[in-house]
Amino acid sequence: MASITSATQPLAAKLREYEALSREEEQVLESAVSAIRDIDINQDMVVEGESPDHSTLLLSGYAARYNMTADGRRQITAVHISGDFVDLHSFLMRPMDHSIVALTPCRIAVVPHTALTRITETQPHLTRILWLSTVIDGGIHRKWAVALGSLQGHQQLAHLICELYLRLKQVDLTDGWTFQLPLTQTLLSEALALSTVHTNRVVQVLRKENVIRWERDQITILDWDRLVEIAEFDPIYLRAPRLLQEGQSAA
């Protein structure tokens, strides 16, 4: 199991993409963690309607925000990866207006809201960077809304692949142009607001375009420029200068 000392390393790596972190600030993040827990697949780590007294940092695995529709369908509204504070906003927003579920087995770090209060009172620079991370999170939500409302199914999937690739690269979870995406087509359909049959079709469209290779839970991007074109993808909303430069220069 990851130690509390190392638990915040993925988060720190992501935050350093926005601004430099001092060693003192990294130690403050480390000291804010009170516990590390393992979460089973399909287990909710945050439940709509509840008012948690802590925020959850995802250390490994995939999680998702979701809401249930009136007819009992689940709509995924965000996918979370290692290094994400999946509910930093719960520090101020109570009760929660959505749930967060483990899409795979996950390991999380618990950060009490009392620790976050101390950070806001004593660490203005770190507070500003954490605030920026929630603003970027909002930008991701807006892009998802635009994609769902304006792009065709295969474009939506291409956009999701582009985004996840860059976010995973940010926390060193890519291998060249390859990354793990251990999500079923049912889960993808819940994120893309498509039927499972339609989701399978859009996967095949991208394969036929020869822009990706998808084998089991592993995706390899074969033609980044063409994938970006199909997705109408502009990574500026991720606010990561190094990744923006790499994305623009990728061939």
Check residue 189 and report its DSSP letter.
H
pTM above 0.85, yes or no: yes
231 domain-assigned: yes
Between CA 132 and CA 25 the distance in angstroms is: 15
**Residue that terminates a domain, selected from 141, 161, 180:** 141
43 domain-assigned: yes
Q: Residue holding tokens 């925020």?
A: 55
Read off the amino acid at residue 53. D
**Residue that terminates a domain, selected from 123, 141, 159:** 141
Instruction: Sort 118 into a burial class: Cβ within 10 Å, 0-12 / 13-18 / 19+.
Output: middle
**CATH number of the domain encompassing residue 178:** 1.10.10.10
146 domain-assigned: no
50 domain-assigned: yes
Return the pLDDT at 18: 87
Residues 133 and 43 in one domain: yes
**For residue 16, how far is the Cα from the chain centroid?**
16
What residue numbers bound the domain in which 30 lies? 4-141
Residues 118 and 202 in one domain: no
**Tens of pLDDT, residue by residue, the chain (251 residues):** 555 657 888 999 899 988 899 999 999 999 999 999 999 999 999 999 999 999 999 999 999 999 999 998 999 999 999 999 999 999 998 899 999 999 999 999 999 999 999 999 999 999 999 999 999 999 999 999 999 889 999 999 999 999 999 999 989 999 999 999 998 989 999 999 999 999 999 999 999 999 999 998 999 999 999 999 999 999 999 987 666 565 554 44
Residues 160 and 210 in one domain: yes
Residues 136 and 159 in one domain: no
Residues 13 and 108 in one domain: yes
233 domain-assigned: yes
What's the half-sphere exposure (Cβ side, CA atoms, 13 Å) at 223? 11
Q: How many domains does the chain have?
A: 2
Burial 222-250 (b: 16+ CB within 10 A, else e): ebbebbbebbebebebbebeebbeebeee
Residues 6 or more apart whose Cβ sits within 8 Å of residue 193: 75, 148
Residues 121 and 189 in one domain: no
Which of 182, 190, 176 has the alpha carbon at shortest distance from 214?
Answer: 182
Residues 29 and 101 in one domain: yes
**CATH number of the domain encompassing residue 13:** 2.60.120.10
Q: Is omega for the bond preceding 124 within 30 degrees of 0, making it cis?
A: no
The token pair at 150 is 């304006």
Residues 178 and 103 in one domain: no
**Residue that terminates a domain, selected from 97, 116, 141:** 141
105 domain-assigned: yes
33 domain-assigned: yes
Residues 10 and 63 in one domain: yes
Return the pLDDT at 251: 40
**DSSP assignment of 63-106, as one string?**
EEEEEE-TTS-EEEEEEE-TT-BTTGGGGT--S-SSEEEESS-E
156 domain-assigned: yes
